[in-house]
Structure 1
Amino acid sequence: MKLNADMGESFGAWTMGMDSTLMPWIDMANIACGFHASDPDVMAATVALAVQHNVSIGAHPGYADKQGFGRRHIDHTPAQISHLVRYQIGALQGICAHFNASLDYVKPHGALYNTMMVDNDCFEAVLAAVADTLPNTPLMVLALPDNRPHRQLAQQAGVPLIFEAFADRAYLASGQLAPRSRPGAVLDDANAMIAQVLQLSQHGSVTTLEGQTLSLAPDTVCVHGDNPQSVEAIKQLRKALTP
């Protein structure tokens, strides 16, 4: 499994995450596109850093919500969802072109990511934006015990999928991530993160907050750069995911 991280989420004088520390250890960088975080200069610096470390670049579009860091749901029509995703992909494409870099996949951020995993209209709107903006380019989605509905919709749209699990987030019995408002939703211990990644890589499963074991088959594991414990564990996580 590959290791991915959300990157480029600073804005102006506000620094978010530890991109320079994380980048040498990951395979895939999900780069914010200016709506929930980032700006043109941050995007450019993050793309340059990814190119320097030979890291695959993904667009990380979210709701236009810098104050809430894209973690608050905002009602949109399906057409509006498609437009905002196209807009942000286009912004990062322009930056990538300057560095002769390719845009290899798309991973929505925060509330948009969570919404598309439970709302088929939203999911289809994201698929449509990816399909006509970046043909044959994968969309990263949450690995669930049963992703058949998402596979079917993606196949109809002609969009490949990359399935993702999380190193530093707790799971519910449904396979969805526990809301950040719930105690224990964000793992705050490096050893717990390493144990979760080892369970995913060695056994293809995760233990939920309720104590259940869920079978998952992720292609990649995400670590968040705004979680200091995740940054502390990054070398061990890299080792856990290296065959």
Structure 2
Amino acid sequence: MPVIDLNADLGESFGRWTLGEDAALIEVISSANIACGFHAGDPSTLRRSCELAVGAGVAIGAQVAYRDLAGFGRRFIDASFTELRDDVLYQLGALDGFARIAGSRVSYLKPHGALYHAVVHHQEQAKAVVDAVRTYDPTLAVLGLPGSLLLQEASAVGLRVVNEAFADRQYTADGGLLARSEPGAVLTEPARIAEQVRRLLAGEGVIADDGSVVALNAESICVHGDTPGAVGIARAVRQRISASGGRVQSFTDRPA
């Protein structure tokens, strides 16, 4: 029976601005990628998010990003190795503090937005993120795109790497994600999303934007918390996993 992690982004509200349905979504997933204040989230939101995760028995991951509140972390920043490493360390420490107060700890890291895409190919920035993780806590796992430089660099220094696939994003033929500026980049139809998950679980790969098949072997499936109808989408994904004979469990609860 296949065991798969289901992760989603949480804690992306800021001040009076509310984004996502965190309290409902946390009941469906097994790992929460919690914003750390650089692309979204304020201290009170981070604390509440950690408390929600602990209450639901969900693993806490630090979703680190460029320092880009105005752009929601979706704009590339040409940060130096030192600057990016220290920014990631800052975010890790902040979220881990709230996680420990709630009775848990940060157990993995996942980049957000433009940083997620940059560290697929940008070696200096990939090394900076990895160095921050290794320096802060070498027992943390790193969640990212299969074949990315981020996961290669993390594996090279002995960190646990976890391959991720997306339930609600359109892939390109090279295994990357179609840019959000392109039509159809974000999948919103539950039936289409469920079919993509079925293919992933069956080892059939995903259908790229050009119609080709991209092979993917993932331990974790992501649903974006800011996608319209995210809770319904997450439930549909979980139901598809169950219908395929699998079960949802965080990768942090399984041996590396």
Percent of aligned pairs with the same residue? 40
1:232 pairs with 2:232: yes
Q: Distance in 2 between matches of 1:154 and 1:204?
A: 27
Match of 2:252 in 1: none
Q: Distance in 1 between matches of 2:116 and 2:182?
A: 18
Q: Distance in 2 between matches of 1:224 and 1:148?
A: 20
Match of 1:207 in 2: 207
Match of 2:171 in 1: 171
Match of 2:96 in 1: 93
Query: Could you say what secondary structure the match of 1:177 adopts?
Result: coil
- The aligned runs of 1:81-160 (5 Å cut-off) are 81-143=84-146, 147=147, 151-160=151-160
Q: Structure 1 residues 72 and 152 mapped into 2: Cα distance closer, same or farther (>3 Å)?
A: closer
Query: Could you say what secondary structure the match of 1:106 adopts?
Result: strand
- Cα deviation, residue 203, structure 1: 2.2
Letter in 2 for 1:29: A
Match of 2:253 in 1: none
Query: Quick check: 2:121–2:148 contact (8 Å CA) kept in 1?
Result: no
- Cα deviation, residue 163, structure 1: 0.7
Q: Distance in 1 between matches of 2:127 and 2:214?
A: 26
Letter in 2 for 1:114: H
Query: Quick check: 2:54–2:103 contact (8 Å CA) kept in 1?
Result: no
- Cα deviation, residue 151, structure 1: 5.0
Question: Could you tell which deviates more after superposition, 102-111 or 201-210?
Answer: 201-210
CA offset digits 1:33-60 (Å, max 9, x no partner) = 0000001100010000001100000001
- TM-score where L is the length of structure 2: 0.90
Q: Distance in 2 between matches of 1:161 and 1:227?
A: 26
**Structure 1 vs Structure 2 CA RMSD:** 1.3
Q: Distance in 2 between matches of 1:156 and 1:193?
A: 33
Match of 2:45 in 1: 42
1:8 pairs with 2:24: no
**Unmatched segments (≥5 aa) in structure 1:** none
**Unmatched segments (≥5 aa) in structure 2:** 247-256
- TM-score where L is the length of structure 1: 0.95
Match of 1:32 in 2: 35
Query: Quick check: 2:66–2:77 contact (8 Å CA) kept in 1?
Result: yes
